[in-house]
Structure 1
């Protein structure tokens, strides 16, 4: 049995879709942990076992992990967390105990690039994620941490600005090339590992996308796919902080985001070489055609 956390989240929902397509042929039963089962499509609810509640709750985990061989683990975002440790390691601690107690053999978790770099201990959300990986690894079960760069899908947060103003904004230097990955490719890697019973031990699995791109490269590709000029605007870290505080996000989360973005601008994601094993197929151009363009067209129609 495979247990999926965050089955309605950006990555968790795609992992679930992948497994529903392939797991039956492997003889795998799928169970999900969901706070609100009604958010799962009815067709999905008919094909999975649903445990209702938070995967930060020990009682919920006891029910969910009973009979489980593998778990897909994602910490849900908590923008009001009092500390980053509370959001990542403290939230995960009951699960780290429950994995061993219930005989879970393999866990695949969503994490980040940066381990072993000079910035790893001051990269905000990334630092907290790596500390969570260490906690899970110490539980004694097999663990694969998916080490991800920035997500292509984060661009969707700026659909309105891209559509109405032709502006794509970020804090990164405009000409610094870096990896980016589509969440659908992260989900595909996770599903493959969850179905593979051959691996043991602890390791990090880089998921790098097919190419390094700068912000100017991304703006150019968006322009070509959308058929309209998109330009990149670099915002300051102070602007980013002010924007997030204005949205009501908590200070620990805001500090963690700013620290992460500063670390990325200093090369946090550049420490792992792209290999055939670490690369994934979806190019940014293909992602723009498949995901961004329909999102922009839908926003324009509303």
Structure 2
């Protein structure tokens, strides 16, 4: 039995689709934890066991982890809490439930940066790595998928790209980083969940096919969308003020700013790209399949 948290989210929906296709041949049963079962894809109805509720709740986790062999664990962002509470606080009930039900394997969504000088001052990434440690220390076999920033983050900029031809971030325009598509993260998770011959704990990088700077992204978007797109760098103090204006938790906002600063200083750089650590989706492909429809909608 494989349990999938956040099955309707960016990564989870891709993972669920992959596991639905592979599970019968692998002899695997699937269970999902979901707040609103109506949001599950049609293909899942009648084929997965559904536990309704939030995976922040101990009672929900207790029901979901009973009889489970493996769990896909994803902490949803919660900007109303401090980074510590949003990640470690959210994860602690799961650690107790994993132990109570003897779950053997966990695959989690994490971040690049472990072992670097920036890891202890990288805001939300630092909080993510601390939550990884909670799971790893529980005694389960654990693989943390260490991801850079997602291509999908640009979907938040779709209206600005459409109306103004501009997208923003806090990185230097020429800072290259290994952006990745969420579908490739899901593919890595599916492989690990279906072949549980691994033991111990480890971090598994999931990188895009090439390092790209914001200027590279702008150039490729211009080519793929057939309209000019440029990058505008947002100062960190401006980002901080903007996010606070949305009423977000002040410590969480500082965590975002610290993460952005660390990424601009090279947090995501330096990981060797190999066939095992590289996703297949290029930025050009992602733009054509995902961003272009969103911008032209």
TM-score (normalised: structure 1):
0.96
Kindly state the Cα deviation for residue 47 of structure 1 after the two structures are TM-superposed: 1.5
CA distance in 2, matches of 1:283, 1:252: 35
Q: Secondary structure at the match of 1:111?
A: strand
2:125 equivalent in structure 1 = 126
Query: 2:175 matched to 1:176?
Result: yes
CA distance in 2, matches of 1:227, 1:219: 12
Kindly state the Cα deviation for residue 14 of structure 1 after the two structures are TM-superposed: 1.2
1:297 equivalent in structure 2 = 296
Query: 2:212 matched to 1:213?
Result: yes
Q: Quick check: 1:56–1:92 contact (8 Å CA) kept in 2? A: yes
- Provide the aligned length of Structure 1 versus Structure 2: 297
1:112 equivalent in structure 2 = 111
CA distance in 2, matches of 1:198, 1:9: 27
Query: 2:54 matched to 1:54?
Result: yes
Q: Quick check: 1:143–1:202 contact (8 Å CA) kept in 2? A: yes
Kindly state the Cα deviation for residue 42 of structure 1 after the two structures are TM-superposed: 4.2
1:145 equivalent in structure 2 = 144
Kindly state the Cα deviation for residue 146 of structure 1 after the two structures are TM-superposed: 0.2
CA distance in 1, matches of 2:128, 2:270: 17
- Give unpaired runs (5+ residues) of structure 2: none
2:83 equivalent in structure 1 = 84
CA distance in 1, matches of 2:142, 2:94: 13
1:13 equivalent in structure 2 = 13
Q: CA RMSD in A?
A: 1.0
CA distance in 2, matches of 1:118, 1:276: 26
2:276 equivalent in structure 1 = 277
Query: 2:104 matched to 1:101?
Result: no
Kindly state the Cα deviation for residue 271 of structure 1 after the two structures are TM-superposed: 3.1
Kindly state the Cα deviation for residue 248 of structure 1 after the two structures are TM-superposed: 2.3
Q: Quick check: 1:117–1:271 contact (8 Å CA) kept in 2? A: no
Kindly state the Cα deviation for residue 79 of structure 1 after the two structures are TM-superposed: 0.9
Segment drifting more, 244-253 vs 216-225 = 244-253
Kindly state the Cα deviation for residue 99 of structure 1 after the two structures are TM-superposed: 1.1
2:246 equivalent in structure 1 = 247
TM-score (normalised: structure 2):
0.98
CA distance in 1, matches of 2:36, 2:120: 35
Kindly state the Cα deviation for residue 18 of structure 1 after the two structures are TM-superposed: 0.9
CA distance in 1, matches of 2:242, 2:30: 40
Segment drifting more, 128-137 vs 10-19 = 10-19
Q: Secondary structure at the match of 1:158?
A: helix
Q: Secondary structure at the match of 2:10?
A: coil
Q: Secondary structure at the match of 2:19?
A: helix
2:162 equivalent in structure 1 = 163
